[in-house]
Structure 1
Amino acid sequence: MRYGLTGARIFTGEVFVDGACLELDGGQIAAVHPAGQEPEGLPCRSLPAGSLLVPGFIDIQVNGGGGVLFNDSPTPQALAVMVAAHRRFGTTGLLPTVITDTPAVTEQAAGAVLTALTRPGSGVLGLHLEGPFINPARRGCHAELFVRTPSEQDRQGMPDLARRLGPGRLLLTLAPEQVEDDFIRAMVAAGAVVSGGHSAAGAARTRQAVAAGLSCFTHLFNAMPPIAGREPGIAGAAILSPQAWCGIICDGVHVDPLTLRLVLAARGAERMILVTDAMPPTGTDADQFRLYGETIYRRDGRLVTADGVLAGADTDMAACVRNAVTLLELPLETALRMASLHPAMLLGQDRQRGRIASGFVADLTLLSADLTVLGTWIGGDWATGAADG
């Protein structure tokens, strides 16, 4: 069914357009018509005055939501719950994330994602494996029991998994010092995106890994050593790798906003990505959940173990966009790109998502003037947002 959306300011992924009509045709964007030039007879829906129509948010690091932890429930049904929970906060596409666990959990998660990828409008864009090839000294809340270096079976099976999922559908977070460059090259050749994280790698080792194909850094500054005068480490190497992408948790908790502003001053925002690192409480009123059999508490905007160790984040993508504007003092256009176009580019999906343009998937987010979510379209299908219930 063809129809138009009018009344909102439209952010194309590049610029804001006033007075335009966005024409949808089923699950795709048909056209953006300038003011007064919509096709005669096109049925139109008027959007709230002052609202913003923007490309749907893409979250590449989602551990859970709606009361579900993907590690514990690696099923298509759990994915549907997670997508619905995050959709209320503007996310129209996500990478469900498995943190360090057994090979059996990884395989079950891959099966669930493969099933979701066959369903148009599922909201699932691929799989993020955060581990198990991480540094045990920088594991954070990951279970040390499951941390390992790649086995011979992994060296064959992980590239096979990337090929099964398809190009850009597997994001693998690893510690560069825990793997060989040949493993990174094999993963990239198979179509995976390799990201550095949960690592104590020095700058030299990190730069070698980037040369081998590592192209992203997972939640910059978290689970990695601070930059030091005589050893900039993985964080320093990330900042000085202009072609690499950096994910940041912009919640005001995981990284001091002034530190993130230093990063932006050093490298700009062109390859920065907002992520949530969200856990099961997102979209619920729960004040705790279980992780590896341990209780994680939701307290004052934090998710922490009994010892106070951060265990994921208590945030959502709309909040991260608002924080990027208020805490990092970024232009709204830049913050929106960090939530949509940039992750689409990382995953090689920027000819389908991340922009409002003819031929793109109709994954859209409708924001109020204060950047709360009024609703979303996934594949052209509408659902109300957190602001409406």
Structure 2
Amino acid sequence: MSGSNVASRVVIPVLLVGVDLGLPQFDADLEELGLLAQTAGLTPVARLVCKRKAPDAALFVGSGKADEIRVLVEMHGAVEVIFDQSLSPAQQRNLERHLDLPVSDRTLLILEIFAQRARSHEGKLQVELARLQYLSTRLVRRWSHLERQRGGIGARGGPGETQIELDRRMISESIKRTRERLNKVKRQRATQRRQRDRRDTFNISLVGYTNTGKTTLFNSLVKARSYAANQLFATLDTTTRQLYLSDANRSVSLSDTVGFIRDLPHSLINAFQATLQEAIDADLLLHVVDASSPNLIEQITQVQRVLAEIGAADVPQILIFNKLDMLDFAKRPSQLQDSYKITGRQLQRIFVSAHNGEGLAELRQQLAAIVVAGKESDITLESAAEFKENDI
């Protein structure tokens, strides 16, 4: 059985390319891009990093580096090249012609992962909308059938209409239909939220960078069995469960949302507005951070940026520094609760380990105190002020 599984596993070798344009947060090791590729079922076989003052208008990396990429592709047997930055339609088309193989960028790779992982009707609609919006700007990329249509009976499109014009019109109509269906789902979700509001439900949403352990924390708090894995975008569809807080003698609504990532495509932010609406309408956000990550500051900043884009920047939040069990003893905090200043706000911070349960009792107690007080924003800041400010 195991032998057949190994034999059926298809290895798709890809070459990863990153261009350092002098911008902050450049991933010189292409580690995150490699994780994205693996999540999509691809196998990185080589990586190339180069520096440029500005992208080349035609090939993004210039003709010299494009030739170097072609040599690496032949050397390692790669069947596709993936860029860590977003490519323009023209750059993508020119690179494919120059290299004679498919070229993808970070945006397309994330879209592919989302398409593979979406399970709910809403999630599939959101992915489809983002994919159609992406393709609408790249109709000239891989289409070899752009000859002019013949007029006459049975012909698709009007007389003399080019195939690309027909494709553009068909995609435009598909975008319109998908938006209408997604708006219907949004209205249904709004009705569900109004029902929760009438029941005086306190809503808490887990947000954070992808692979910080949000779903593991969610499962630990509500005793659920949502899919969790050590990979990017393990959770795409929002899951909501009731969390009973014994100290408050009541239940609250806890939602696990999709993780954020650096350079999250705007089309995905717009398309996933319905899913992220849970964060916008929440009474409290639990911003989950991977305390063991060397890039935690950048990841926190990226999450705050996305929260601002979707209109959730002012929702009260607590920083949950997860994966306490993965910290070296010398880096472990002296206390599980303190405060942390970010974007001009002093936020309460709680260290936890969703894996072994450390700190979860303190988290439950603090959530209960917030619910009982009934002043979410005030209690969040006032509670933070009671703790000593401490930075990692």
Range of TM-score over shorter length? under 0.3
Comparing both structures, which one devotes a greater share of its residues to strand? Answer: 1
TM-score (norm. length: structure 2): 0.24
Does 1 or 2 have the higher relative contact order (CA < 8 Å, sep 6+)? 1
TM-score (norm. length: structure 1): 0.24
Comparing both structures, which one devotes a greater share of its residues to helix? Answer: 2
Which has more radius of gyration?
2
